[in-house]
Homo-oligomer: A and B are copies of this chain.
Amino acid sequence: MNKIKRVAIIGGTHGNELTGIYLVKKFDRTPELMVRSNFETIALLANPQACKTGTRYIDIDLNRCFLHQDLENPNLSSYEAKRAKELYHILGSQNGHQQDLIVDLHSTTANMGLTLILASQHLFNLQLAAHLTSVYPNLKILVSEVENQDSPLLISISELGCTVEVGAVAQGVLDASLFQETEALITTILDWVEAYNQGTISPVKHSLTIYDRIQAIDYPRTESGEIEAMIHPRLQFRDYEPLNPGDPMFLTFDGESIAYAGKSTVYPIFINEAAYYEKGIAMYFTQKKIVIS
């Protein structure tokens, strides 16, 4: 594979996720932190208008604007649809001029600790993930089952890279510990890419645990779409822990438990993510897999 020529660190894809926004601002003030010997690094805010207003988006969710058909559709007029085209132009590697790696920084109200969502299961990404989990044992690695399909996510611009999710942290809040953990992770990524370009990376000899996103689960709702139940207290903040058949998932407003009715153990993530209420997602189910690297 070719060497990495440029790494893009993206913050503020959602304007109320402050960790990434303030990290990009820090890199803007002190760009020497991003400098490595054999590739260029840029840091930018993906949705500057939403960052100003402190909201997830202005018109629509920017991180759902990167389907090819939308990027090629001249009739879309929302702020985010236009901004997606600009970002695709700035970051896209499809023209073959450069091999980009993108790190898109997010935060979540779910208790997902430090999570890497790989842009693809490209060997490069798996090697990077294996290295990072050897440095940060609590780091979780997430992939989506459906690979190589058209995706609306910003990270889909590049095959190489990852979305970083950190939490639990409320929207509009800076958590100093999560800020520092995310910065350390980025530093390690940049160091590893430098070694990769130098051909000095040593393969990590251990198994890699990955969580494979298999299904979105909505809240119980009335016919008119109103939520009828909340995340059960015994599931709240238990991201990545096993949910077994019969375990409580939801609690109605009258105090009745609703159990998980599936037949196999799953590992829920994005449990009670604030931004997903409007998307009809109470959590995602994942499967836990071991990859031998």
Give A residues with C-beta under 8 Å from B. Answer: 22, 25-26, 54-55, 109, 168-177, 179-180, 226-227, 230-233, 236, 251, 253, 255, 272, 274-275, 277-278
Contacts of A170 in B (CB 8 A): 109, 168-171, 173, 274
Decide if B168 touches A26 in the complex (CB within 8 Å): no
6 nearest A-B pairs in the assembled complex, by CB-CB distance: A172-B274, A170-B170, A109-B170, A176-B230, A174-B230, A176-B251
Decide if B22 touches A172 in the complex (CB within 8 Å): no
Q: How far is the CB of A154 from chain B (nearest CB, A)?
A: 22
Given A22-B253, A278-B54, verify A236-B175 contact (CB < 8 Å).
yes
Measured in the bound complex, the distance between the Cα atoms of B123 and A117 in whole Å is 56
Given A170-B109, A173-B274, A274-B173, verify A179-B230 contact (CB < 8 Å).
yes
Given A253-B26, A255-B180, verify A231-B172 contact (CB < 8 Å).
no
Measured in the bound complex, the distance between the Cα atoms of B70 and A166 in whole Å is 42
Contacts of A255 in B (CB 8 A): 180
Measured in the bound complex, the distance between the Cα atoms of B272 and A152 in whole Å is 33
- Contacts A174-B230, A176-B230 known; 20 new A-B pairs at CB < 8 A: A22-B230, A26-B253, A54-B277, A55-B55, A109-B173, A168-B170, A169-B170, A170-B170, A170-B171, A170-B173, A170-B274, A171-B172, A172-B274, A172-B277, A173-B272, A173-B274, A174-B231, A175-B231, A176-B231, A179-B253
Q: Is the interface of A mostly helix, strand, loop or mixed?
A: loop
Contact of A171 (CB < 8 Å), options: B171, B232, B233: B171
Q: How far is the CB of A177 from chain B (nearest CB, A)?
A: 5
A-B contact pairs, 6 of them (CB 8 A): A22-B253, A54-B277, A109-B173, A171-B171, A171-B172, A172-B275
Contacts of A175 in B (CB 8 A): 230-231, 236, 272
Measured in the bound complex, the distance between the Cα atoms of B256 and A176 in whole Å is 11
Measured in the bound complex, the distance between the Cα atoms of B227 and A169 in whole Å is 18
Given A22-B253, A168-B170, A171-B170, verify A176-B274 contact (CB < 8 Å).
no
Contacts of A275 in B (CB 8 A): 172
Measured in the bound complex, the distance between the Cα atoms of B180 and A277 in whole Å is 20
Q: How far is the CB of A55 from chain B (nearest CB, A)?
A: 8
